[in-house]
Amino acid sequence: MQMNKIGIIVNPLKDPGLLYLNEVARRLEKADFTYAVSCCDYESKEKYPFCSAEECFMGARLVLTLGGDGTLLRAAPYAARYRVPLLGINLGHLGFLAEMERNEIDQLAAILSSGYQYSERMMLNVQILRNNCCCGEAIALNDAVIRSRIGKPAHIVVADDESDLIDYFCDGFIVATPTGSTAYSMSAGGPILEPRSRAIVVTPICPHTLGSRSLVFGETLQQIYMKVTNADLIQAHLECDGAEIGVLHNGDLVCVSRHDTPLQLVRLHNKSFFKVLNEKISRRMS
């Protein structure tokens, strides 16, 4: 294994001239690191031999993401599969998940040479079950979302292994990790969870009743099942971290459980989660 290999996932929409990629590559070369660059769905005649995401992660001691939170979310399932830590460099606006800003790239080589710590983040296994067979699955760092393609409300029944727990009549439904609790779930009125916890929060989107609220499930709940009883009528579909997983039909079950392997996110600053959250939210409002 090449322990001096660094993987780089770059989003060309955030780095259209690849200027930041050039800067990162130059600094890695100067510090005697090798690197592999992956750029999904992007053809380039630049000097970099772009490889697949799998090749980027295999044998890497760490993978950098150059982009926004969406770039890191796309890299997260590979990072969990190959057990490689991720370090996000924010080229976007908010960057909840990123640990470095673009103006800190000059510190990168020193950080990689001196060592770093990381925090573990729980991820979700998400499956669509149809006639007891899996017809769609994904790993999510933030959330799984059920909603209608045509803007009609959904009737969603939430259950565990033993019985139905609650049903919602709402515009959509979010199942979020603690990391995802500061994303879509928060915007829908859900609670914020400490990111190192292993709780799961379910949040209805615009519920059509006065008493519908988010629910938080602890570790004792192993799996959550959701069924959209009017799925065909409303053209329901499932998304994970913003990517579509599949269309839902009447009788389908969406099964959500905790993924066996947590994501390792590199941490460079000794700031509390809630202090960082306050800073990011203040930046959004400015």
Question: Which residue numbers are catalytic?
Answer: 69
Number of Cα atoms under 13 Å in the Cβ half of residue 134: 9
Which tokens hold the place of 92? 């976007």
Give the Cα separation of 186 and 5 in Å (integer).
37
Question: If we measure between CA atoms, which residue out of 243, 229, 174 comes closest to residue 206?
Answer: 174
Question: What is the DSSP track for 65-107?
Answer: EEESHHHHHHHHHHHHHHT--EEEEE-SS--SS-SEEGGGGGG
- Taken in order 243, 246, 250, 255, is the CA torsion positive or negative? negative
Give the Cα separation of 173 and 178 in Å (integer).
16
Segment holding 145, helix H or strand E: strand 143-148
Question: If we measure between CA atoms, which residue out of 85, 89, 95, 86 comes closest to residue 107?
Answer: 89
